[in-house]
Chains A and B, each alone.
Chain A
Amino acid sequence: MGATQIIFWILSIVAVFSAIMVITRKNPVYSVLYLIITFFAISGHYVLMNAQFLAIVNIIVYAGAILVLFLFVLMLMNLNKESEPKKNKFMLWASAFAGGLLLYVLLAAVHTAHIENVKGIHVGNIGLVSELGKALFTTYVVPFEITSILFLSAMVGAVVIGKKD
């Protein structure tokens, strides 16, 4: 097993483990912290695939902005107590079963599908910032501008909704 494989397995195990912790922890603050670990592991996967720009943007956007926002809301609401509402045991098991079933179906479907085994997934430099920047600001400049408008409207929307009146 090469170094890449070892790192892949470590990152995958960390990602899956902390993802499971996210949905099983009672305390929402723990969930957020485990989610941060998951995102770091996914960023590690991006680095492994030589998609450096996305790796760092993933950390800046998700871990640095989105999850801080989650933490803010949780801390300001003081939801840190074990505030998960009581739930029907049957419903819990049924939904867990449904999720597991989905996993089974998807895995089974992909397992039997013919997937071409491409060598060298870690080579190439399309993940570097210069290549992505060129494509983003030439071919995809219109979607880029549209996302900025989307951001603006989201910002206005958040302010309007969150305003006390």
Chain B
Amino acid sequence: MPINYYIFLAIILFCIGVTGVLTRRNAIIIFMCIELMLNSVNLLLVAFSKMHHARALAAGAANTTAGIEAQLFVFFIMVVAAAEVAVGLAIIVMMYRNTHSVDINFLNRLKN
């Protein structure tokens, strides 16, 4: 598959995630949309990694590990996402305990 297709797919997924963050008010769903955005970026990174690798292979470098950084980057993104979810969900549970709702619009208390 040409790399463009992966770029388009990642953009579509990312924009769906953005739209979800903008349209929904349920904090958990907003969180899930953020995960979706992270995943679309991961997909794009893996596609680019393979693109660089293919280019290095085409240039005649055998045994090259060009492009491996992007895959490690994806790995680290997953790690950070897991940590983020642990803390984020704890915060949402805390918020639910205090306000009995996961509606983010209840969180504008600092406004006035």
Contacts and interface: CB of A to CB of B under 8 A. Distances in A.
A/B contact in complex, CB under 8 angstroms: yes
Interface of A: 4-5, 8, 12, 15-16, 19-20, 22-23, 28, 31-32, 35, 38-39, 42, 45-46, 48-51, 53-54, 57-58, 61-62, 65-66, 69-70, 73-74, 77, 79, 83-85, 87, 92, 95-96, 98-100, 102-103, 106-107, 110, 115-124, 126-127, 131-132, 135-136, 140, 143, 147, 150-151, 153-155, 157-159, 161-162
User: Which 7 pairs, one residue from A and one from B, show the smallest C-beta to C-beta distance?
Assistant: A99-B19, A95-B22, A23-B20, A154-B83, A103-B15, A161-B90, A162-B90
Contact of B54 (A115, A121, A147): A121
B24 A132 contact: no
Given A123-B57, A157-B87, 10 more contacts: A19-B12, A45-B43, A54-B42, A65-B82, A70-B31, A79-B28, A118-B3, A121-B2, A126-B67, A131-B65
| Binding site secondary structure of chain A | helix
